[in-house]
Structure 1
Amino acid sequence: MRRSQRKRENPDLGILAGRTLFAVQRVLFGAVTGQGHPELRPRHGAVLAYLDEEGSRATDLAAQSGQHKQVIGTLVDELVALGYVERQPDPADRRAKLIVPTAKGLDEMAKSDAAMAGIEAELAATVGEEAYGEFKRVFKRVADGLSARRPE
């Protein structure tokens, strides 16, 4: 059996995770595009998915998303230019900056959360609430375990 056929019939964790990520991004960004946010791209999710309504530090966004600080900085620059976020002084440390969503950013975040809830409800209806809940618990444990590993 050829490797490509074997990977299609019995995909490994990386392939399944990638397929899941890209499918979720396609559906999610399709939904928010249709709700007034056509300029956003999946890469912006590295900031918007982790951004707190009160603002977040870029270093925290980098740690949570697994992206380098430079990548987050570039994405924040793009989102500032698009009107989704702004940089403000951090009241806890005036030397630091917070990335704070604008009204447009808050609107996108609310629509994105609602779209994601819809995606999850649809999946739970497809496979069953209990099975989907167990899938998420196990998938979180796997993701947490891998995230805690140091490169060899």
Structure 2
Amino acid sequence: MGRSARPADLGMLAARLLFGLQGELFRISAEHGFGDLRPQHGAVLAHLDEDGLRQNDLTRLAGRNKQTIGAILDELQKLGYVERVPDPADRRAKLIMPTERGLALMRLSDQIVAEIENRYSKIVGRDDYDTFLRTLRAITGSEDQPVRRPR
């Protein structure tokens, strides 16, 4: 049996899942006035928190290097999605805070992802979908990270 006749492997399935979710997320976001975003912005946008995060925390969560995250943050700041503010706990540090535009995008993104997850859970059933998520978190080492729920 040739490679093209084999069932999709983990890499192919993961890519289909990511690119499908990302495509839908960015398409719907653009329809709601957020058409200035690009998929690479997702490395930061996925981890924004209304209480703010330090850049090193964003870098760790995104699994990217400091320079890449810094460049993405610069772009998002110019586009009006985030701002850097002094961290009240450590005046030498900066918190990355979503602006009002960033918060609106976060709310919309949470709704879109919740709709996608609801659709997926209807395909396989809630119990199987929950098992899938637990398994995926274990495989990716994400079981200790909080799960974002719609606001």
Query: How does the TM-score come out when normalised to structure 1?
Result: 0.89
Aligned counterpart, 2:25: 28
Where 1:116 maps in the other structure, the secondary structure is helix
Matched, 1:75 2:75: no
**Which runs of 5 or more structure 2 residues have no equivalent in the other structure?**
143-151
Aligned counterpart, 1:131: 128
Could you tell me how far 1:14 is from its partner in structure 2?
A: 1.7
Instruction: Kindly tell me the number of residue pairs found equivalent between the two proteins.
Output: 142
Aligned counterpart, 1:2: 2
Query: How does the TM-score come out when normalised to structure 2?
Result: 0.89
| Alignment deviations for residues 27-81 of structure 1 (CA, whole Å, 9 cap, x no partner) | 1111111111110111111111101101111110010010111111000000000
Aligned counterpart, 1:106: 103
- Mapped to 2, the partners of 1:74 and 1:38 lie a distance apart of 19
Q: How does 1:29-68 map to 2 (within 5 A)?
A: 29-68=26-65
The amino acid of 1:105's aligned partner reads G
Greater Cα shift, 37-46 or 111-120: 37-46
Root-mean-square deviation over aligned CA pairs: 1.2
Aligned counterpart, 1:148: none
Moved over 4 A (4+): none
How high is the sequence identity, in percent, across the aligned residues? 49
**Which runs of 5 or more structure 1 residues have no equivalent in the other structure?**
146-152
User: Whose helix fraction is larger, Structure 1's or Structure 2's?
Assistant: 1
